Structure 1
């Protein structure tokens, strides 16, 4: 490989991001916990994370005592981010195809010079499964391409496109019928009766404005926090158009995010029609108070105007949005709060989030259950190499969300995009515990067990077809609530749900995986028609693509 690019100072070189894949990001979390004091500039609370930062983390890990699985993982991260590492690695291929394809271990095609890099890879997801609640086999068939690169060490680009056909498990179909959308996706079509056909596309361009400031423009997902869930901004909803500014200086990471969202999505006949728009302005300041403790403060506002107009005053990157909202005389939907991450003893991490949608201290003190006390909280912990067993990683997390959190008057200001929640995929009005065990007995074999126990309250449908809003579905108007006081978490149709997932993944080649998965779901609701026990088993072949997860 040419070394010209590697000689460019990191402050000047453009950074493309590691696509958000929970398995890959677990490795990043693992080594950040073990080695975070050696790379204190890495802010993991804002995702996706830059390839250069991940390469620096992997380089820091190479000199540490490690298991065979760790050596494999570190080499994987170095190879996957080869164009950003300064270390020599074994990414060169011994047997390129026609002396053109797979000249390295990671990319179908690649090119590198002093001024230009390009990586091109195929995308494939073939999954076949059986669901005890559905007739016939369930499947996912995704084919696509992914490419990324940089120009002049300052301009970066990334694009992904995938064509999909799928027949989902019954519990996923229930969610599609409720909201009228395929989870994680936008426009869709019927496919062979009970199937779905949809296109997935992501892409962005980014540019280094200065040594410490970067601008990014494109369509993608984002994730805020260190937990399995995010109560601030998750990757559940489909990609959205965004403009992002990242400022990294000293111990600070300041992010500004402006997005155009879809206020409502309904499948319509009779030709094309522009979907209604709304917008979000978000900023977060993260501070590494110490090398192992990060604190973030954030604020965001969602708003819609007639004819899709953008409120220019929200473009101010360093103003308190609530003051802008008040001066405009509007009732936009503003949220604020904080998140933290605290690494302990190079083997554990505590993390959490607090979200305030609406908060009146006197109403909280009264204890009368005012509907407007809308807030959410998360606390969690990760334990790396648990009980001294190498590559056994445990995680536990509790999420609590008050009724009506994230809801607003209508689709132009509620906390959803394309009728899908922007934060927790189950909406609000819930208690949840997430437990995850990850074990890597062999370098190429990952075993993951998840238990997600949720108590939540579903909304009611009257015999006349009217909806009684108990605060679970973020798409509903909060004015449909039955009363103003006497609200509690899990009110409405009380439902207890247990989602168990056991997955064995084997990596045959770089980013070529086979998954064996078993899911057991037990849902018990006060309304018998909402109770259901499901068992889903599947086998999947994945190539350069993350697992498709439906954990709601």
Structure 2
């Protein structure tokens, strides 16, 4: 029933859901491809066992005794709002909510989100998801500053001013998923993707707003091949009624090898095609349909007019409770011995997960390090950078940074507690009263790198040294496991160079179905 049912739909991208998938695949003696997400459930043999752990299937709500359940309490605490089952046809409809109230030392903040999510199976081979959400928000000051600068909410679309100091925004998402056999899956939708096994992705992440896509996944035991075609909309401060519809289009290919049941390596290629200029709009070349990984990189190189980057992923399950993972992304490289040259544009990730260590059921730990050199993801043309909807397609900090992440999540029946610490160092462009001696530090991927004065003086962190630390502690109760309705309380502490430290405390009634990244 409910969010648990759709066979050709995917696991959510939430960190909690990814932990449970990792715990299952690491402890099972089978072949699993876990890198290109969202993972289609039918590609994981025994996916129903993962669902049972996520949804605590068969466990009663801790709020009231089972014998006291009336229709109202069942709908609130243990069942879907609307559920239909007729043969192979399954349908669930549930609310999506986020009612949050918080305050810092001087101000009060609030978020008011309402929506619906619908999931269904039309047969064993055909599933669908659709959802819509509308929000009015009065966010923290640093988020409000971000909204003013970007004209978008992190991962949630364009903004409209609401009651002078607030913001209004809305969005929809969904897909149709068809698997003619166990080897093939086809998806058409408006959503997000994630390539990797960690908290961040340096290749393709769920940081930006939803976008139209078509994805094919081909799986034959040890080999999985994914093709993804996308359309990314531009959002610029100078947009007008014509320019706002400008788009760039992406072609992504990913080839994953299972060297053993516990070791996998993936090859990644991304091309952002220049499909809009001063004379034409949305002129998509036929070459975008080429499904062969590496072909365009070999043919055109990394400095072609279309923005091309390549990468490698790796994951090793040392044992049932320990998993190592990493990534390497390459945007360009200078062959001569010039380590500071701005053409040396690359980054890497290294991470470790402990999945229910010390035999503590439902305890998950993650430690991760990320670093990306200046100018990675940027391009000579501002329209060709590696972004969507005015946000990076990979890491929310863009480039020219070093980052350390620690995450701890513990679930006990319906209760949970999570601690997340993110510490980053990057070279900023400017702060009041200071001048940087070149056009850009390589941190802002939306700036063209063609205006750099010096080619050989760039190292990670160059520019104005900036440190940012985010500590978030959250605890709560999952009221309804079927629709992921949670009651939470939390605290967010943030330090940022040359600005006052902030402490934010909040309570919320929310539906946890997606990742929202405010740790920047």
Where does residue 283 of structure 1 map in the other structure? 253
Say whether the 8 Å CA contact 1:96–1:103 is kept in structure 2: no
Which one of 14, 20, 25 corresponds to residue 18 of structure 2?
Answer: 25
Say whether the 8 Å CA contact 1:103–1:109 is kept in structure 2: no
Where does residue 224 of structure 1 map in the other structure? 195
Alignment of 1:487-526 (within 5 A): 487-510=458-481, 511-524=484-497
Deviation at 1:327, TM superposition (A): 9.7
- d(CA) in 2 for partners of 1:173 and 1:30? 37
Between 387-396 and 146-155, report the one with greater CA deviation.
387-396
Deviation at 1:329, TM superposition (A): 10
- d(CA) in 2 for partners of 1:543 and 1:96? 23
Say whether the 8 Å CA contact 2:234–2:244 is kept in structure 1: no
Say whether the 8 Å CA contact 2:399–2:442 is kept in structure 1: yes
- Where do 5+ consecutive residues of structure 2 fail to align? none
Deviation at 1:413, TM superposition (A): 1.2
Q: CA RMSD in A?
A: 2.9
Deviation at 1:359, TM superposition (A): 1.7
User: Which SS does the other structure have where 1:308 is aligned?
Assistant: coil
Say whether the 8 Å CA contact 1:131–1:536 is kept in structure 2: yes
Say whether the 8 Å CA contact 2:490–2:505 is kept in structure 1: yes
- d(CA) in 2 for partners of 1:385 and 1:544? 22
Alignment of 1:395-410 (within 5 A): 395-410=366-381
Deviation at 1:536, TM superposition (A): 1.0
Deviation at 1:90, TM superposition (A): 6.8
Is 1:44–2:34 an aligned residue pair?
yes
User: Which SS does the other structure have where 2:71 is aligned?
Assistant: coil
- d(CA) in 2 for partners of 1:76 and 1:320? 37
Where does residue 113 of structure 1 map in the other structure? 86
Say whether the 8 Å CA contact 1:215–1:246 is kept in structure 2: yes
Is 1:540–2:511 an aligned residue pair?
no
Where does residue 196 of structure 1 map in the other structure? 167
- d(CA) in 2 for partners of 1:103 and 1:550? 30
User: Which SS does the other structure have where 1:412 is aligned?
Assistant: helix
Deviation at 1:136, TM superposition (A): 3.4
- d(CA) in 2 for partners of 1:397 and 1:225? 12
- d(CA) in 2 for partners of 1:338 and 1:486? 27
- d(CA) in 2 for partners of 1:14 and 1:390? 27
User: Which SS does the other structure have where 2:145 is aligned?
Assistant: helix
User: Which SS does the other structure have where 2:502 is aligned?
Assistant: strand
Deviation at 1:76, TM superposition (A): 3.8
Alignment of 1:108-507 (within 5 A): 108-132=81-105, 136-266=107-237, 274-305=244-275, 306-323=280-297, 326=300, 330-362=304-336, 365-367=337-339, 369-440=340-411, 442-460=412-430, 468-507=439-478
Scaled by the length of structure 2, the TM-score of the pair is 0.89
Deviation at 1:487, TM superposition (A): 0.5
- d(CA) in 1 for partners of 2:176 and 2:60? 26
- d(CA) in 2 for partners of 1:465 and 1:456? 16
Deviation at 1:404, TM superposition (A): 0.3
Say whether the 8 Å CA contact 1:299–1:321 is kept in structure 2: no
Aligned length: 505
Deviation at 1:462, TM superposition (A): 8.9
Scaled by the length of structure 1, the TM-score of the pair is 0.84
CA distances 1:89-111 after superposition (whole Å, capped 9, x unpaired): 57999756389x84993411112
- d(CA) in 1 for partners of 2:56 and 2:474? 25
CA distances 1:404-450 after superposition (whole Å, capped 9, x unpaired): 0001123321001111000000111011111112233x322211111
Between 324-333 and 123-132, report the one with greater CA deviation.
324-333
CA distances 1:213-263 after superposition (whole Å, capped 9, x unpaired): 121111001111011110011111000000100111121111100000013
Deviation at 1:480, TM superposition (A): 3.0
CA distances 1:517-537 after superposition (whole Å, capped 9, x unpaired): 11111112xxx4xx3311111
User: Which SS does the other structure have where 2:445 is aligned?
Assistant: coil
CA distances 1:291-347 after superposition (whole Å, capped 9, x unpaired): 111111111100122321112112121253435762999511101111011001211
Where does residue 86 of structure 1 map in the other structure? none
Is the alpha carbon distance of 1:439 and 1:174 closer, same or farther for their aligned partners in structure 2, counting shifts above 3 Å? same
Say whether the 8 Å CA contact 1:58–1:78 is kept in structure 2: no
